[in-house]
Structure 1
Amino acid sequence: MPTGMRKACRELVNYSGVRVRSDRLLGFITLFGLGVAFAVSFDATVLLGLEVNTSLLIFLAAYAVFEAGSYMWLWFKAEGKGRFVDGVLPDALQLMSMNMRAGLTTDRAFILAARPEFGPLEDEIRRAGKAIMAGSRLKDALLGMTKRIRSRTLDSAMKMIADGMESGGEIASLLEQTSLDILNTRLVEKEVRANVLMYVIFIFFAAGIGAPLVFGISTHLMAVMSEQMSRFAAIDFAKYQAGGGGFAGNLGVFTGFSGMGKAASVSPDFLMLYAVVSLLVTSFFGSLTIGLIKDGKEKQGVKYMPLLLVLSLGVFFATRIFVSAIFKI
C-alpha cells in the first residue's frame, strides 16, 4: 500500500474509534479481503464452470467490493462519531464555562465536565484536563482534542478558543460564546435542510419510482413491437404479389414495412439489460446527489443506495409484471 494511502487509512481508523492498532486492522482487512475474494471466485468457477480469465475478474471485483465496503464502514463510524460530538459539544462547553465561573481551576473544570453522556467527547475532555494538570499548554491540550475526532465543528471551536486566549480573552466567556455560536449555526443548518428537503424528495421519487415506471412500460412496449415485427417479417409477400390483382399491387407498402422491421429489430434481452444498467447507474448517482444535498457530502448518500436500488428494481419488475398481466403477451 502506498505511503500516502496508508497514512490516510491510519487516520481513518484513528477517527473511527476502533480500539485496535491501525496497522493490525489494515492488515486483517487486506488478508481477509483476499480470502473472501478467493472463496467467491473459486465457488463461482466450480459451480458455474467459468474460465480462468472470468474467475480472475470475479476475484478482483470481489476484492474491490470488500475493500470498498470496509473503507465505507470505517468512514461511517468516523462520521457518526463526529456527528455525535457535534450534538453534545455546546453542552460540554457550557459545563466547562460554568465550572470555571464557579472558581475551579482550568484542569479541574475540564475533568469535572467529562460526563458519560458526552460519549467519545468525555475521553477527550478528560485527556485534555490531565494534560493541563501535567503542565501542557492550554492551547496544545485543546487542539489535541481534535486529533481523534473528525469534526469540523470541534476543530473550529477549539481553534477559535485557542486564538481568543492568545488575544487576551477570558476562557470562561470564550467557552460560553462558542457554545452559543454553535447552537445558532445548528439552527441555520436545520432551516437550510428544511428548504432543500423538496429537492431530496424529487430526486428520490425520480430515481426510485419515475425512472423504473418509464423503463418498465417502454421495455414491455418494445418487446410487443419486436414480436409483432418478427411475425410481420415472417410473411411471404412475394407469394401474394405473384398472384396479381389490386390487393397484390398494394403489398409493396407492407413489404417495405417488413424490411424495415428486419433492419430496426432490437433484442428485448438487450433492452432489459440496458434498462437494468440504467437504473443501477441512476440509483448510484441519485443516492450520491441526495447525500450531497441533504448532508453536504456525497459519501453520506451511500447509505441510501441499497434502498434506492431495491426500490427502483422492484418498481421496474413490478411494472413489467403488471403491464404484461393487462395486455397478456
Structure 2
Amino acid sequence: MKNVYRIFAKIVPKKVLGKIKNSLRYTTVKADAEVVVGIIIFLAIFLGFGFGLFLSTFFQQSLGLTFPSAAVLIIILSYVWIVLQVDKKARLIEESLPDALQLMASNLRAGMTPDKALLLSSRPEFGILKDELDIIGKKITLGKNIGAALTEMSQRVKSRRLSRAVELINSGLESGGSLAILLETTANTLSEQVLVDKKIKAGVNMYVIFIFSAAAVITPFLFGLSSFLVDILKSSLSQIDLPSSSTTALPINIGEIKITSTFVIQFIITFLTLNGFMASLLLGLISKGRKRAGLSYFIPLILLAIPLFLLARYLIKTSIGGLFDF
C-alpha cells in the first residue's frame, strides 16, 4: 500500500509537497512524508466523493461542485492538523525543558560528564522530550558529538526557546565554562517565561470568552432573526397589489423579490464559516501570540455556530411565525 500512497502523493506539486514534508519533520509522525501525503490525498478523493454523492443524492446538490469542495476541505483540515501537531510538540517540550535542564545541572554538579548527565536526565515524565533525549543518547553512544546531536534535536522541534537553550549549552561546552551554572540560569529564565505566559493568558481570558461567544452564539442568533425578517419582508411585499397607474407616481419601484430563502441560508452558513475562521485566528493571536495556534478553535466554532443559527431560525419561526401570514 505504501507504493500506492506514493503514487497519490505525486499528484501534489513539488513545492507544496516540500512544504508539507518540512512541517512533518517537526511532528511526532514517524512515517515517510510521501506516504502521509498520499494517505491524505487518498482520503480526500474517496471521502470527498462519498460526501459529494451523499449531498447530490439527498439534497439535490451538484456532484461536480460538492466533490471537489469536500476534497479540498479534507486536505485543508489535514494540513491544519499537521500544523497543530507541530505547535503541540513544541509546547510540550518547552514545558518540560526547564526541569530537564535543572536535572542535567544537578548531574553535572554530582561529577558526571556532560554526555552522561544528558543521558541520565531522560525521565518518563518529560514525555516527548524524553523521546528526543533518548535519540540523542543513541547518537552519542554511536560516537556522535554531543553538540551536533543537540543541534539536530533543535532542528526537529520548531521552538525558539529550545534552539536558544541548545546554543547556550553548545557555547558552554566549547568555552569550557561552568556548564552547570549556565544550565541552572537558563532553566530559571525559561521557568519565569512560562509563568509570564500563564499570567498573560489569564489576563486575556475575558477577551477570548467574549470573542468566542460573539462568533459562536451571538452572531448565529442574530442571523437566525435576520433570515426570518427577510422571509417576512418577502411575504409582505409579495402580497402588495398596486395598480400600474399608482406605482408610476411613487418615488420607488416595488417589484418582485427574487432572493430565495435557500440562498439566504447558504449565504449565512458561508459567512458563519468565514467568520469562525477569522475569529479563530484572532483568538490564537490574543491567547498565544500566534494566529495559527487559534486554528484549534475553528472546528468547535463551526460546530456551534451553524447548528445554533438553524436552531434559532427554527425557534423564532415556530414561536412568532403564526403572527404573520406566510
What TM-score do you get using the length of structure 2 for normalisation?
A: 0.82
CA separation of 1:33 and 1:216: change in aligned 2, threshold 3 A = closer
- For 1:314 and 1:102, the matched residues in 2 are separated by 61
Offset at 1:265?
A: 7.1
CA separation of 1:316 and 1:3: change in aligned 2, threshold 3 A = closer
Within the candidate set 148, 152, 159, 1:151 is matched to 159
- For 1:22 and 1:237, the matched residues in 2 are separated by 70
Q: Any idea what the Cα deviations from partners look like across 1:93-149, whole Å, max 9, x if unmatched?
A: 111110110011122111111111212211222332343444433321221222333
Partner residue of 1:229?
Answer: 237
In structure 1, list runs of 5 or more residues that go unmatched.
239-251
Q: Does 1:34 pair with 2:27?
A: no
- For 1:76 and 1:266, the matched residues in 2 are separated by 40
Identity of aligned residues (%): 31
Within the candidate set 190, 215, 219, 1:211 is matched to 219
- For 1:59 and 1:154, the matched residues in 2 are separated by 43
CA separation of 1:189 and 1:143: change in aligned 2, threshold 3 A = same
The answer on whether the counterparts of 1:209 and 1:311 sit within 8 Å (CA) in structure 2 is: yes
CA separation of 1:271 and 1:7: change in aligned 2, threshold 3 A = closer
Q: Which amino acid aligns with 1:80?
A: K
Partner residue of 1:313?
Answer: 306
What TM-score do you get using the length of structure 1 for normalisation?
A: 0.82
- For 2:37 and 2:247, the matched residues in 1 are separated by 70
Partner residue of 1:273?
Answer: 266
Within the candidate set 165, 176, 180, 1:172 is matched to 180
Partner residue of 1:245?
Answer: none
Within the candidate set 23, 44, 50, 2:34 is matched to 23
Specify the SS of the correspondent of 2:21. Answer: helix
- For 1:181 and 1:170, the matched residues in 2 are separated by 17
Within the candidate set 271, 276, 288, 2:281 is matched to 288
Q: Any idea what the Cα deviations from partners look like across 1:236-286, whole Å, max 9, x if unmatched?
A: 587xxxxxxxxxxxxx599849x7432677544443333332222212211
Q: Which amino acid aligns with 1:274?
A: F
Partner residue of 2:133?
Answer: 125
Within the candidate set 141, 148, 160, 1:140 is matched to 148
The answer on whether the counterparts of 1:92 and 1:113 sit within 8 Å (CA) in structure 2 is: yes
Partner residue of 2:67?
Answer: 59
Offset at 1:167?
A: 4.3
Partner residue of 1:326?
Answer: 320
Q: Which amino acid aligns with 1:217?
A: L
CA separation of 1:156 and 1:2: change in aligned 2, threshold 3 A = farther
Partner residue of 2:7?
Answer: none
CA separation of 1:220 and 1:42: change in aligned 2, threshold 3 A = closer
- For 1:48 and 1:266, the matched residues in 2 are separated by 19
The answer on whether the counterparts of 1:107 and 1:130 sit within 8 Å (CA) in structure 2 is: no
The answer on whether the counterparts of 2:237 and 2:256 sit within 8 Å (CA) in structure 1 is: no
Q: Does 1:262 pair with 2:270?
A: no
Between 189-198 and 29-38, report the one with greater CA deviation: 29-38
Offset at 1:307?
A: 1.9
Within the candidate set 87, 90, 93, 1:79 is matched to 87
Q: Which has the larger radius of gyration?
A: 1
The answer on whether the counterparts of 2:212 and 2:279 sit within 8 Å (CA) in structure 1 is: yes
- For 2:321 and 2:109, the matched residues in 1 are separated by 78
Offset at 1:21?
A: 2.2
CA separation of 1:170 and 1:10: change in aligned 2, threshold 3 A = same
Q: Which amino acid aligns with 1:169?
A: G
Between 267-276 and 277-286, report the one with greater CA deviation: 267-276
- For 2:52 and 2:225, the matched residues in 1 are separated by 36
Q: Which amino acid aligns with 1:13?
A: L
Offset at 1:46?
A: 6.5
Q: May I ask how many residue pairs the two structures share in their alignment?
A: 311
Q: Which amino acid aligns with 1:326?
A: I
Between 222-231 and 2-11, report the one with greater CA deviation: 2-11
Q: Superposition RMSD on alpha carbons, in Å? A: 2.9
In structure 2, list runs of 5 or more residues that go unmatched.
1-11
Offset at 1:6?
A: 2.7
The answer on whether the counterparts of 2:228 and 2:313 sit within 8 Å (CA) in structure 1 is: yes
Between 197-206 and 260-269, report the one with greater CA deviation: 260-269
Specify the SS of the correspondent of 1:16. Answer: coil
Q: Which amino acid aligns with 2:119?
A: I
Partner residue of 1:248?
Answer: none
Specify the SS of the correspondent of 1:225. Answer: helix
